[in-house]
Structure 1
Amino acid sequence: MFLRCLADVVQTLGLDVASDSAADDAWEWGHRVRRALREACRQELVLSEPSFGVLMAAAVYDSNPSFNRQFVEPVLNAFGYRRVRSALLDYLRTGTDPERAGAARAWYWSALPLRLSKVRAEGSDIQGQPEAEDGSVLVREWNEAALREFVSNEHLDVRRCILPGLPLWPSAYPAGLHDLVETAVVIARSHPDEYIRHRVVHQVRG
């Protein structure tokens, strides 16, 4: 699926990517596409409406939690925090388990400052959207949805990807979710996966 996403990015954005890339080598092809996108962002890059969907899909399906930033950042600068975070929230709530895990990985980068001044949405002469400076937009909604998903979804990768960004203290949630926070902590502390057990130790306050 990631290879298809990369092909969509190249075609939709008209990126100049060397044609000798191995079509079945996701790592190499991904490297070349990301590099071409990075170069395009240094110039004046105008993102069409279809570009939003293909870049978000690439960010979600990119399994590398560091390199997926290169798909998130252009749409963040062009379309604003609310649009990007709403899309990731939709993936978390209604996507497949791989999409939910990918959305959690991509969410980390949705708080980036808007520094790509030459990237904008088609039909717009300003960077981002009116709410672009509000870095807290949709954070509460994400945290609540992520908490519910962590507790209810036993898929290992989903839990691994959600946990690092999940607040695990009751005051971060409405009173009605406090019991769910405690349930999440119990699940993490007793989980058979060593990473989850180790991670929760550093996230629980007190």
Structure 2
Amino acid sequence: MDGHEAHGTDGGDGVPVLLMALPAPEGADDDTFDRCLVDLVRVLGLGVARGSGVDDRRWGHLVRAALREACKQEAPFPEESFEVLLRAAVHDTDPSFNRWFVEAALNAFGRGRVRSRLTRYLRTGTDVERAGAARAWYWTALPLKHPHLRATGPGGYRTEPDDGAAAVREWNEAALREFVDNERLDVRRCILPGLPLRPSAYPAQLHRLVEEAVAIARSHPDPYLRHRVEHQVRG
């Protein structure tokens, strides 16, 4: 993805491979993301305000910076902030900066809960939300840098370990089905980079879908999908 995928990587023969950056979403809804930022400032009391001379990009950076500072200060996160953080992560069209919303939710509410919510977005959300959930999923493996951050309320942070392998397997199977069935280009673009394309990563009844996913990407008119699939199959 733009910012964390257009890097040189080893293609398996020692030769660096330059990956194409994820193209910008088509028809992005900046108003929805702006409302997410407003809600986040209100729920967490971040103490930043959008002045008349602050454009959308600058406003997003101000809120993210305030959120990072709140995490460092390990202020308690109210229960309401869980959904607000995940909505912001899903509707942030920048696949690098959406990290800060995901990271805050991971630390305050736990990895299992975050992954479960993103999987639900993938299965039941709008196409915009499905694409955004795939962008956000990339960051769910981040280490927890703020272990003392806590959420308030009965649905807050839980200390018991989540079944990480099961959560990843559930996501991968849902993502595979969505990639094959959903013809929306943005959805396929966002899902493909994190989608395992080895049949061994899935139960036997899904092996045919893996072959179908590879065939779809290889024959697709979109150059990004064609580029990505060859790298992933080769890797």
Q: Shorter-chain TM-score category?
A: over 0.9
The aligned residue for residue 155 of structure 1 is 184
Which amino acid in the other structure matches residue 163 of structure 1?
L
From 68, 86, 89, the counterpart of 1:56: 86
SS at match of 1:158: helix
Any idea what the Cα deviations from partners look like across 1:28-67, whole Å, max 9, x if unmatched?
2111100111111110221111000000000000001110
The equivalent of 1:10 in structure 2 is 41
Task: Please report the TM-score for the alignment, with normalisation by the length of structure 1.
Answer: 0.93
Which residue type is aligned with residue 39 of structure 2? D
What RMSD over aligned residues (CA atoms) do the two structures have, in Å? 1.8
- Greater shift in the superposed pair: 110-119 or 13-22: 13-22
1:22-33 mapped onto 2 (5 Å cutoff): 22=53, 25-33=55-63
Q: 1:21 Cα shift?
A: 5.6
The CA deviation at 1:137 is 4.3
Which runs of 4 or more aligned residues in structure 1 lie more than 2 Å from their structure 2 counterparts after TM superposition? 126-129, 134-137
Identity, in percent, stands at 68
CA distances 1:48-99 after superposition (whole Å, capped 9, x unpaired): 1100000000000000111001000111011111100110001000000000
**Where does residue 192 of structure 1 map in the other structure?**
221
The gaps in structure 1 that reach 5 residues or longer are none
* Residue 22 of structure 1: how far off its partner (Å): 4.7
- Which residue of 158, 165, 169 corresponds with 1:140? 169
* TM-score (normalizing by structure 2): 0.82
| Distance verdict in 2 for CA 1:19–1:180, change over 3 Å | closer
Q: Contact 1:43–1:118 at 8 Å: present in 2 too?
A: no
Using the TM superposition, give the Cα deviation of residue 135 of structure 1 relative to its aligned residue in structure 2, in angstroms. 4.0
Q: Which residue of 2 aligns with 1:87?
A: 117
Residue 127 (structure 1) shift: 6.6
Is the 1:45–1:118 contact (alpha carbons within 8 Å) kept by the matching residues of 2?
no
Distance in structure 2 (CA, Å) of the matches to 1:184 and 1:21:
47
1:111 deviation in Å?
0.8
Deviations 1:130-178 (A, max 9, x none): 115x543410000000000000001001000000000001000000000
Structure 2 segments unaligned to the other structure (5+ residues): 1-31
Aligned-partner SS, 2:47: coil
Q: Distance in 2 between matches of 1:117 and 1:37?
A: 16
| Structure having greater relative contact order (Cα 8 Å, sep ≥ 6) | 2
CA contact (8 A) 1:81 1:137 kept: no
Aligned length: 203
Distance 2:126 2:50 in 1: 32
Displacement of 1:116: 1.3
Report if the CA contact (8 A) 1:73-1:109 is conserved: yes
Moved more, 42-51 or 149-158: 42-51
Does the CA contact (< 8 Å) of 2:50 and 2:59 recur in 1?
no
For 2:199, the aligned partner's letter is P
Q: 1:111 aligns to what?
A: 141
Q: Are the structure 2 counterparts of residues 30 and 154 from structure 1 closer, same or farther at C-alpha, using a change threshold of 3 Å?
A: same
Is 1:41 aligned to 2:41, yes or no? no
Measure, in 2, the Cα distance between the counterparts of 1:162 and 1:63: 14
Structure 1 residues 123, 54: closer, same or farther in 2, change over 3 A? Answer: closer
Contact 2:130–2:187 (CA<8 Å) still a contact in 1? yes
Task: State the alpha-carbon separation in 2 of the partners of residues 200 and 22 from structure 1.
Answer: 43
